[in-house]
Amino acid sequence: MKTKHLGNSGLEVSSVGMGCMNLGMMCDQHAANAIIGAALSEGVNFFDVADIYGSGEAESMLAKALGSHRKEIVLATKFGAKTGGRGGAAENGGSRSFIMNAVESSLKKLNTDYIDLYQYHFPDSTTPIEETLRALNDLVQQGKVRYIGCSNFSGKQLDEAHQVAADHNLHGFVSAQNRYSLLFRGIEQELVPVAEQHDISILPFFPLESGLLTGKYRRDDKPAEGTRFAKWGGGGGFVSDERYSIVESLEAYGQEIGRSVLDLAIGWLAAQPFVASVIAGVTSPEQIRQNVAAASWNPSPEQLNQISAISGSDLVN
């Protein structure tokens, strides 16, 4: 398993991480144990969860599955999102009082005395970023958090956070977790240049677009029972004719070079110099093994250019 530095931190993270959104939603504890066991066996050391995942149960499930392996891995969680699966920022989610309550809850559920990467899940427009960063800085000084990151920030918001941290001698974000894939490349226009300028790593979520980039869904086929697309009645906002056309073109190119669509999707992301770890959610041990194999592929510059051209850098959000 290849590893990369996470921004300017002292953390080394596996090129593929395990996104834990499915714990408590599509995976029970027995399934979680099997998946996380497989991830550890494959060399995955980066586990990304949030206090709202699995109706608030995902952190506890992850802790149980990790058991004695806690100190061997990089543990990331998040604060500041609405509950109930609606997404978006919680009311006052970036405030000092919210953060101090949230971190104690996460530490307890994760059965740990420190969090390696504590991430601001959604920017709270009502709380000044200085207040948020000062609270997080205190957590770092107290030893409850090692490093801090953000999620769903724009390039402008990330740049402002970096400048505020620098101006006030506070710990700054070492990572930015945003949706990024061959079908969702809008962050390349604004966020990525800011991240590269300040040595902040990108952590892509939805790298497989909820399964569309695995090649298992077909334009005119009914999704198999038990899949997310079946539960959503056909893929929801993840699908369109344009997106299916791109996936079909990627599949055709993959056949030319002996690689699957999944290989192209994860391999291309993992090869980007500003990406530290590709966070992919899974529901089975086999999916973890497939993701690790995909990230182990080393595409040539020509292959990367061809994949990029097929997906289209102008394909935004």
> 31-67 pLDDT, tens per residue?
999 999 999 999 999 999 999 999 999 999 999 999 9
Backbone phi, psi, residue 15, to 5°:
-65, -20
What does the alpha-carbon distance between residue 9 and residue 272 come to, in Å, rounded to a whole number? 18
Out of 53, 118, 120, 217, pick the active-site residue: 53
CA angle 131, 277, 213 (to 5 degrees): 115
53 as an active site residue: the answer is: yes
Residue 231 falls within a domain, yes or no? no
Report pLDDT digits (tens) over 226-281: 556 555 555 566 778 888 899 999 999 999 999 999 999 999 999 999 999 999 99
Print the domain residue range for 37: 3-210+265-297
In degrees rounded to 5, what are phi and psi of residue 245? -65, -40
Contacts of 118 (CB under 8 A, 6+ apart): 76, 77, 78, 79, 103, 136, 139, 145, 147, 148, 149
Residue 307 domain flag: no
The helix or strand, by DSSP H or E, that contains position 47, with its residue range, turns out to be strand 46-48
What's the confidence (pLDDT) of residue 84? 74
CATH number at residue 192: 3.20.20.100
Alpha-carbon span 182 to 243, nearest angstrom: 10
Write out residues in the chain with pLDDT < 50, as ranges: 314-317
What's the total number of domains in the chain?
Answer: 1
Is residue 251 included in any domain, yes or no?
A: no
Buried b (16+ CB within 10 A) or exposed e, 248-286: ebbeebbeeeebbbbbbbbbbbbbbebbbbbbbbbbebe
Looking at residue 166, what is its pLDDT? 98
Q: What is the pLDDT of residue 96?
A: 98
Whether the CA torsion 291, 294, 298, 299 is positive or negative: it is negative
pLDDT for the residue 216: 77
The predicted structure's pLDDT at residue 83: 87
Which pLDDT score is estimated for 315? 47
Within a domain: 255:
no
> Quick check: is 258 in a domain?
no
